Amino acid sequence: MTRVALIIQYDGSLYSGWQRQPKVISVQETLENAIYELSSKKTKTYAAGRTDAGVHAAGQVVHFDIDFVIPDVKWAAALNGKLPESIRVLESVRVSSEWHACHSAIYRHYRYLINNNKMPNLFMNKWSWHRYQKSLDDSNMRRALNGIKGEHDFFAFQKSGSKRLSSITTIKDIEIIRTNDLISVDIKATGFLYGMVRSIVGQLVLVGENKITPDIFYERWTKKKKNEVLESAPAKGLCFVNAIYKENVFTKFDNNDLFPKFKIFGFS
């Protein structure tokens, strides 16, 4: 058996998330069907992170085991010939049987985009949340993040329905960057709870609109006031940027940020 690792991108707006589910189209099922078309072998794929319905990926990492003669570097082109244009394989490499797309990852990186311009932007609509009612105070949003880095219990930011036994995880870094009217929220963590990023962003937007204070934001997650965390950002603004490993197994991409660089200029 050969273990093959892939870097893939996908437009999440067309799928009900990464994970295979009955009666809906998922990225995992679509990818596994493409592998079957090439090899006539039923194969299970494993991803670095499970994205929810509508969430995109710029550098998702996947692996699968297969007993079929295709050179590992050829899998990318072969799969792209079978996959819809909404899913692209950027690179394929052979890895050891001990390497795992999920378990070998040190941390994952997600980015959320907010279009804070009053004017809509057709080209950004699929990839960002158009939150235009008020000009967001990004300085206040940054102040709300005091103390959030490190290992904590983020129960307040976990959506109901999660099967995870513990809501403790480690945020390695979180950054808010504003470029004109485009605000990006970048979060790097060892693991993410169900709906965690979208809940954090939803609360940060409330801070930016002065609907809650940074202290209230802090109190909600530190005191596990999940019942007060009602606002959540929509899925379309969220993207899985990449996963980071102790040793990079890919040859073309060295832990690069594969997310496109968007810019929105203010209107006079």
Distance CA 104, CA 225 (A): 33
52 catalytically annotated: yes
* Candidate list 11, 52, 138, 254, residue with the active-site label: 52
Q: Are residues 174 and 185 in contact, defined by beta-carbon separation less than 8 angstroms?
A: yes
Q: How many residues does the chain have?
A: 268
Report the candidate in 258, 245, 251 with the shortest Cα–Cα distance to residue 98.
Answer: 245
Give the number of other Cβ atoms within 10 Å of residue 236's Cβ: 19
CB 116 within 8 A of CB 181: yes
* Paired strand residues for 234: none
- Residue-wise burial string across 144-159, b where 16 or more C-beta atoms lie within 10 A, e elsewhere: bbeebeeebebbbbbe
| Residues carrying an active site annotation | 52
